[in-house]
Structure 1
């Protein structure tokens, strides 16, 4: 059975690690809960799609407000288990995020995607997202 929910308990957060680490391999399992809890103090949340109580897709996100967009939901992390891709789980979780954003008064949903993530770009374009800006960064 498929369910989508917020990961609020340490057990649910830890259950997201095997999937999240496929996107963020630099994060150590022993520090994952601590890092997520720290980010939660700043509004970060994790939504997970479970199949038979096993996380197969996860999304880290936050709601914020800015002059350019108004109130928006920003997706920090979105990943489907590499063994479960192309089965509709990413689409289901993405649609859940859109509804969550609407239900929380957001006017916009956005994310950044690495330039090398071609399969992710195809997915976002299929989901009717537009390329609206370039993201620039500098390591400090």
Structure 2
């Protein structure tokens, strides 16, 4: 596994009552904590296995080595408490513009409603702008009503109906 460019430089820092929250590029050592965050909700608990990092190592390496992918973690006082992934997708639509897809957004339950998620998404939107994207998009499971309200407060609009086909 490549360990080049661990990305330990903070992308964002903010002071909370509990301490300093920082965003940075994920490093392979963050993987167990990322998996715990992904498995800690009603959907992830049935499809993720935070106890076995093995199946996730190849995917992490592919994400880490692809310049069109950015996996980010949020740390509070040295503990991983948040994560999200950005994918930068070129397309012919919208006059050949680049779009940013936000995936797997998670914030530890004890930090919700403290501005952490909003700061993360504002950083992600600015990163998309910096890279020349003309659109930021995300999907959120229909059952995640709180998440929908959160994204709408940030200016996202439920403009499309998404579909998936499990393979």
- TM-score, scaled to structure 1: 0.87
Greater RCO, CA 8 A, separation 6+: 1
Preserved CA contact (<8 Å) 1:13 1:46: no
**Equivalent of residue 3 in structure 1, options 5, 22, 34:** 22
Secondary structure in structure 2 of the residue aligned to 1:107:
strand
Preserved CA contact (<8 Å) 2:88 2:99: yes
Moved more, 81-90 or 108-117: 81-90
Q: Which runs of 4+ in 1 moved over 6 A?
A: none
The Cα shift of 1:22 comes to: 2.2
Preserved CA contact (<8 Å) 2:28 2:60: no
Report the aligned-residue RMSD.
Answer: 1.9
Unaligned runs of 5+ in 2: 1-19
Unaligned runs of 5+ in 1: none
- TM-score, scaled to structure 2: 0.74
**Equivalent of residue 79 in structure 2, options 34, 45, 54:** 54
- Greater gyration radius: 2
The Cα shift of 1:40 comes to: 4.1
